[in-house]
Amino acid sequence: MRSCYLTGVCTPSPWLFSPPFYVSYSFIWVTNLFLLVQREEKQLEASLDALLSQVADLKNSLGSFICKLENEYGRLTWEGLWVGGPSVLDSFALLSGQLNTLNKVLKHEKTPLFRNQVIIPLVLSPDRDEDLMRQTEGRVPVFSHEVVPDHLRTKPDPEVEEQEKQLTTDAARIGADAAQKQIQSLNKMCSNLLEKISKEERESESGGLRPNKQTFNPTDTNALVAAVAFGKGLSNWRPSGKMPSGIKTNIKSASMHPYQR
């Protein structure tokens, strides 16, 4: 910079706008901008890879838990009462830990804000795309105008959004005292329900441990089975003489009938 001591006005030196210096300065600025963009792209790719890895682990855990619910519901327990039996709480704990890890990845200082990234579909085609089928595990066969609004939607459906607004409006109308009373009433109902469930479980467990009252005599049962199967204890009693026939015949009864013509 060159200044005029008489007027006090600073004027730039003419060599700043000379062609060699201007070209070199522009080149350095473009190079720095390119390096900055390249560094942001690498950071975005690394964040996406970490996010995809966490989502894949979460998806596998959910699939395994659903498989247990469908195929091992007979052996499935709530708290793992015996060794080797699958536990629902263990699966919930695993899913909760993976969700917390996913939130930490999203909130990390080195993770860029994905909400600032814009996804634009470059090609829309009604034809079947094998690469898309492979990447989506067979869930999305085509990437057409009908599929894009569902998969690239950033806002909920209009019906869902309207219901959410209605719920928000209804919640705002309720006062603090009324809301607190409803919360206390709901907590009381939940406590009573949990108490009934716990009481039923305790009664069923105590009933299973208590020996059942015997309602038969084993000696009489064994004697009855031996008598029916082997005839044990039965006497060989037979009546004397010829047994009278239970069928009586009268040959002349038909001819001597008084009403016969």
Residues 38 and 97 in one domain: yes
Q: What was the pLDDT predicted at 28?
A: 66
Count CB-CB contacts under 10 A for residue 47: 17
**Which band of pLDDT confidence, cut at 50, 70 and 90, is reported for residue 166?**
very high
Is residue 208, in this structure, part of any structural domain at all?
no
Is residue 246, in this structure, part of any structural domain at all?
no
Mean pLDDT of 13-18: 48
Is residue 180, in this structure, part of any structural domain at all?
yes
Residues 146 and 177 in one domain: no
Residues 84 and 181 in one domain: no
Residues 23 and 92 in one domain: yes
**Which band of pLDDT confidence, cut at 50, 70 and 90, is reported for residue 8?**
very low
The CB-side HSE value for 79 (13 A sphere, CA atoms) comes to: 1
Is residue 247, in this structure, part of any structural domain at all?
no
Q: Is 147 exposed, middle or buried (0-12, 13-18, 19+ CB in 10 A)?
A: middle
Per-residue model confidence as pLDDT tens digits over 75-106: 777 765 444 556 788 888 899 999 998 888 88
Residues 173 and 93 in one domain: no
Question: DSSP letters of 111-170?
Answer: S--GGG--------BSS--HHHHHHTTTS---B-TTTHHHHS-SS--HHHHHHHHHHHHH
**134 or 239: which leads in pLDDT:** 134
**Which band of pLDDT confidence, cut at 50, 70 and 90, is reported for residue 124?**
confident
Percent of the chain with pLDDT over 90: 10
Return the closest-CA partner of residue 219 out of 227, 207, 211, 230. Answer: 227
Mean pLDDT of 235-245: 58
Q: Which of 53-57, 68-72, 120-124, 249-253 has the lowest mean pLDDT?
A: 249-253
Contacts 24+ apart (CB under 8 A), 148-157: 148/121, 148/124, 152/119, 152/121
Is residue 135, in this structure, part of any structural domain at all?
yes
The pTM for the full model equals 0.44
Count CB-CB contacts under 10 A for residue 112: 15
Q: Does position 52 have pLDDT exceeding 80, yes or no?
A: yes
Is residue 61, in this structure, part of any structural domain at all?
yes
Residue identified by tokens 């900055």 is 36
Q: Does position 188 have pLDDT exceeding 90, yes or no?
A: yes
**Which band of pLDDT confidence, cut at 50, 70 and 90, is reported for residue 72?**
confident
Cβ contacts of residue 91 below 8 Å, gap of 6+? 61, 64, 65, 68
Is residue 203, in this structure, part of any structural domain at all?
no
Mean pLDDT of 37-55: 83
Mean pLDDT of 230-247: 62
Best mean pLDDT range from 57-66, 70-79, 81-90? 57-66
d(Cα 28, Cα 22) in Å, to the nearest integer? 10
Is residue 191, in this structure, part of any structural domain at all?
yes
Domain that holds residue 189: 161-195
Q: What was the pLDDT predicted at 209?
A: 61
Per-residue model confidence as pLDDT tens digits over 105-114: 888 777 777 7
Kindly calculate the radius of gyration of the chain based on its CA atoms and give it in whole angstroms. Answer: 45
Residues 61 and 122 in one domain: no
Q: Does position 9 have pLDDT exceeding 60, yes or no?
A: no
Residues 67 and 124 in one domain: no
Q: What was the pLDDT predicted at 15?
A: 45
The H or E element that residue 26 is part of is helix 19-71
Q: Which of 5-14, 76-85, 180-189 has the lowest mean pLDDT?
A: 5-14
Number of structural domains found in the chain: 3
Residue 231 backbone zone (phi > 0: left; psi -120 to 50: alpha; other: beta): left
Mean pLDDT of 34-44: 76
Residues 64 and 99 in one domain: yes
Q: Which residues pair with 11 in a beta bridge?
A: 2
The H or E element that residue 3 is part of is strand 2-3
The H or E element that residue 2 is part of is strand 2-3
Residues 40 and 109 in one domain: yes
d(Cα 170, Cα 191) in Å, to the nearest integer? 26
